[in-house]
Chains A and B, each alone.
Chain A
Amino acid sequence: MRHIISILIENESGALSRVAGLFSARGYNIESLTVAPTEDPSLSRMTLVTRGSDDIIEQITKQLNKLIDVVKLIDLVESVHIERELMMVKIRTTEHTREEIRGMADIFRGKIIDVTPTTYVVEMTGPSSKLDAFIAAIDGDSIIEVVRSGPTGISRGEKGLHL
């Protein structure tokens, strides 16, 4: 099953490599990984998407918790949560397709953030599945480049991952 593990980690050099190293050393897979500082400059927040059986996910969370730099973590999938990913797609356009692509971006609540005579860059956020759907909806041959941030998430309600 797919799990989203959200980690508060010391904002120190090498912390990221401890997490990445753990996954490669123990043969766990990482689907995506995003990391950025938080409002507390001493902490970074990492969102890691992985897949595995319940036993493996249990080991992953235990092994992550064992890392001295990991302050706290939760598996977002265990509770109600919101998941978002940012995507930018550079699409080759022609006179005939510009209208259609604009319309498609509208339907998916995307924004066109760069325009040249022959290209658009569409910015879109949403759950990963929605971004997948957009990619599937447009002609694959017209895509020049896709950049995705990997999902990040937050739990609903008052609960939060903080110190």
Chain B
Amino acid sequence: MELNGAQIVIQSLKDEGVEYIFGYPGGAVLHLYDALFQQDEVKHILVRHEQGATHAADGYARATGKPGVVLVTSGPGATNAVTGIATAYMDSIPMVVISGQVPLPVIGSDAFQEVDMVGITRPCVKHNFLVKDVNKLAETIKKAFYVATTGRPGPVVVDVPKDITDPRIKVPYKYPKKVSIRSYNPAVSGHKGQIKKAVDLLLTAQKPIIYSGGGVVLGEASKELTEFAHTLGFPITNTLMGLGAYPATDKQFVGMLGMHGTYEANMAMHDSDVIIAIGARFDDRVTGKLDEFCPHAQIIHIDVDPASISKTVKVAIPIVGEVKPVLEQMLEMIRESKKKPSKKALESWWKQIDQWRAVKCMEYDRSSQLIKPQYVIEQLYEVTKGEAYVTSDVGQHQMWAAQYYPFDKPRHWINSGGLGTMGFGLPAAIGVKLAFPDSDVACVTGDGSIQMCIQELSTALQYNAPVKIINLNNSYLGMVRQWQEFSYESRYSHSYMDTIPDFVKLTEAYGHVGMRIDKPEDVRPALEEAFAMKDRTVFLDILTDRTENVYPMIEAGKAHNDMTLRVADGTSTDRELA
């Protein structure tokens, strides 16, 4: 079969099984868009800004486990995509971004809409390619998918100069079934001796804890993790990225850990004698002050990326491999072992943990006349029966969603954890909804974040992706305000927006349904009404208590056992706002 470069790109995507491509046309990709027009297998979603394309593809990838695919033009199209690429990179999300480039002969001449995309994205991709020969196009695309989806996943950029997609130049096409790259051989199964050592240590632990992260979601090892925890009877905490990998409603789950983690999770980490870190990377929001991180613990660390091991926290037993096969092997060894976890030690450990739980660190003022954001999330959980896909933006609302919506299944909690990208939530929700049109998809956001990619409301209408937007509106950049309250004597420097748009009218202008809710008793009925409108995007503008803060909190530079809790009577601080 002879195809031109543009057709090769599209045919390669078909052969790769790509369902959706999120993109935005422009000069350098016109040939590609012409080839897209002449087929209907790969469905193109026209976003309203390239950042939205990357986030939508990212949301799709996080919810499905399949790589997200993006198509943007050169220059500004490419640079607009960078934030989304970096977002995917920080959270290890498989993504293939095809960017147009000016024709090869003019590269380097500062041509119109030229930018060194390979150079710009180098630090925020797993790998990138500049295609210089149309004969290598199909193989390069295959390599991009291979690299993006194997080992520790990540985004891969394929920069395609316009002349490579010239419709007049046809070459033989064959999409390779497999590619290998001599310098790229990600580890799969872990070292058996190390696994054995880890199992021995686990079985002698007195105060153990399982600390698992996004790697369990990415590695599809939820079932194995659950079985592992149940077999051992250990407490388990998840990182922000790992929520859902272990059922949050299970009694062994002690909640999220880290900066806004639960009291019991952080205290248990701090006091533990053995920690097994599974697909987690000891991020600074998790560890707090490094010098005082888990001072008594011997640490086992399973990770597919050797560079994640002993990067910030030194571990005793590193295991490089995919979490799923490693956990399977561990489970087998545990079952065969004559040694069993000490019942007595575990009983007294659980007793201690229950005492920490009794602090009830997640309580908030339920009698408030104002709408408490936590209450909104709890109601969202009930209305959606805990089964919705929830995307979020970044800030206080993100933490409340993580804290008050217990996720029982992986891939249902979709947020930008590593990069912390405001503007992520709405486009990500659209990507999720396209993948699962029959499921409820909620975007929990705030009045600051939602305005960063609000133009994608238009995309949601065009492609019939009805999502529910839960806007926790406090007229503040809430997390910034909270830090300013705690650390800058309430000098609220530029964290207040005086001119927030009328979101109801704005939503209506985009062709959707808007609702404003300002009384606690209206929250539940409004949510029910919104989710009953299956085929409409609904924007719930919920005016919440503007002074509410996220608790517990480990302030920057403090240790796990040095948490700021809500004041004793369960109310938040009633400080006057500017």
Interface residues of chain A, those whose CB is within 8 Å of chain B, are 10, 13-14, 17-18, 21, 25, 55, 58-59, 62-63, 65-66, 68-72, 163
Contacts and interface: CB of A to CB of B under 8 A. Distances in A.
B126 A68 contact: yes
A13 B311 CA distance: 30
Contacts of B123: 21, 25
Contacts of B306: 62, 65-66
Contacts of A14: 118, 122, 130
21 contacts: A13-B130, A14-B122, A14-B130, A17-B119, A17-B122, A18-B122, A21-B122, A21-B123, A58-B310, A59-B307, A62-B306, A62-B307, A63-B307, A65-B306, A65-B307, A66-B306, A66-B307, A68-B127, A68-B184, A71-B182, A163-B182
Nearest to A70: B183
A112 to B, nearest CB: 42
A59 B311 CA distance: 7
Nearest to A59: B311
B331 interface: no
User: Which one of B123, B305, B306, B307 has the highest number of Cβ atoms from chain A below 10 Å of its Cβ?
Assistant: B307
A24 to B, nearest CB: 9
Contacts of B358: none
Contacts of B568: none
Contacts of B305: 66
B147 interface: yes
A55 B309 CA distance: 11
B1 interface: no
B577 interface: no
A17 B122 CA distance: 9
Interface residues of B, number: 18
Contacts of A17: 119, 122
Nearest to A63: B307
Contacts of A63: 307
Nearest to A55: B310
Interface in B96-145: 118-119, 122-123, 126-127, 130
Contacts of B181: 68
Given A25-B123, A163-B182, A68 B147 contact: yes
Interface in B311-337: 311, 314
Contacts of A70: 183
Contacts of B130: 13-14
B404 to A, nearest CB: 37
Contacts of A65: 306-307
Nearest to B124: A25
B183 A71 contact: yes
A52 to B, nearest CB: 14
A41 to B, nearest CB: 15
Nearest to A72: B183
Nearest to B183: A71
A21 B37 CA distance: 39
Contact of B183 (A13, A21, A59, A69): A69
Nearest to B126: A68
A10 B119 contact: no
B114 to A, nearest CB: 16
Given A14-B118, A62-B307, A71-B182, 12 more contacts: A13-B130, A14-B122, A25-B123, A55-B310, A59-B311, A66-B306, A68-B181, A69-B183, A70-B183, A71-B183, A72-B183, A163-B182
A30 B527 CA distance: 57
Contacts of B147: 68
A58 B312 CA distance: 12
Nearest to B128: A14
A55 B310 CA distance: 8
A65 to B, nearest CB: 7
Nearest to A22: B123
A70 B127 CA distance: 12
A62 B306 CA distance: 7
A17 B147 CA distance: 20
A62 B303 CA distance: 13
Nearest to B147: A68
Contacts of A72: 183
A18 B181 CA distance: 17
A155 to B, nearest CB: 20
A99 to B, nearest CB: 52
A159 to B, nearest CB: 20
Contacts of B182: 71, 163
Contacts of B184: 68
Contacts of B183: 10, 68-72
B474 to A, nearest CB: 36
Contacts of B311: 59
B38 to A, nearest CB: 33
A56 to B, nearest CB: 11
A139 B364 CA distance: 77
User: Which one of A10, A25, A66 has the highest number of Cβ atoms from chain B below 10 Å of its Cβ?
Assistant: A66
Nearest to B123: A25
A28 to B, nearest CB: 13
Interface in B44-85: none
Contacts of A18: 122
Nearest to A58: B310
Contacts of A71: 182-183
A58 B307 CA distance: 9
A68 B314 CA distance: 26
B95 to A, nearest CB: 16
B282 to A, nearest CB: 13
Nearest to B119: A17
The 5 closest A-B pairs by CB, nearest first: A62-B307, A71-B183, A68-B127, A25-B123, A68-B184
Nearest to A163: B182
Nearest to B306: A62
Contacts of A68: 126-127, 147, 181, 183-184
B307 to A, nearest CB: 4
A72 B306 CA distance: 15
A26 to B, nearest CB: 9
Nearest to B152: A66
A66 B181 CA distance: 13
